[in-house]
Amino acid sequence: QSTNGYPFTIVTASATSNRCFAVSNANAILRGFTITGANCGVRPSGGLYYNGCGVYLSGGLVTNCLIRNNIGINSYGVGIFMTGGTVANCFISTNIASGGNYSDGGGVSMTGGLVDNCTIVGNFGEGGLGWPYGGGVQMTGGILRNCVIAWNNTRNISGGGIAMDGGTVDRCMIW
């Protein structure tokens, strides 16, 4: 937990880092940070892609964070990739998933978990290989609730705001 909140507590990925945070413990809480500068792509070992350049979440809570300006090549969920856990009261903006065949969910890619009361704005997803694209959100599971999703874009035709192949969208404003 940061002491002074996200305007004053900034975590920037190092030049050799691919991801800012990986959160997996159900009791973990990541609160009050700006998470920025992650630049992940094709693994040096030859793997296909990295998911969750800003945050990889499989359990726990990410709350009151600003997640912005992260870039991923061949990446799902450049701002946040989540299989479980909760993201609440966060601002997720200007994250870019580009290049390659697997670049979806510039802001958030989710297969499970809950995104609640977040603003997801100005993200980009390039897409590839006929998968859902999702500039703002790419989802195959989970719940997106009480969120604002705006001004997100994709190079491909579908899913500038949300590309959805499963899960639930509840009481969100999308434009």
> Under DSSP, is residue 146 helix (H, G, I), strand (E, B) or coil?
coil
| Residues 150 and 162: beta-carbon distance below 8 Å | no
Q: What was the pLDDT predicted at 100?
A: 65
Query: Distance between CA atoms of 107 and 124, rounded to whole angstroms?
Result: 7
Q: Is 34 helix (H, G, I), strand (E, B) or coil?
A: strand
pLDDT average per 10 residues of sequence, the chain (175 residues): 90 77 96 92 57 94 97 87 97 88 85 98 79 83 98 80 94 95
Rounded to whole angstroms, the Cα distance separating 75 from 158 reads: 18
Q: In 3D, which of 169, 165, 20, 148 has the Cα closest to residue 93?
A: 148
pTM of the model: 0.91
DSSP letters along 75-129, please? -B-SSEEESSSEEES-EEES-EEESSS--B-SSEEESSSEEES-EEES-EE---T
Element of type H or E holding 7: none
Q: Report pLDDT for 159.
A: 76
Q: Look at residue 43 in the predicted model and tell me its pLDDT.
A: 54
pLDDT at 14: 74
pLDDT at 154: 85
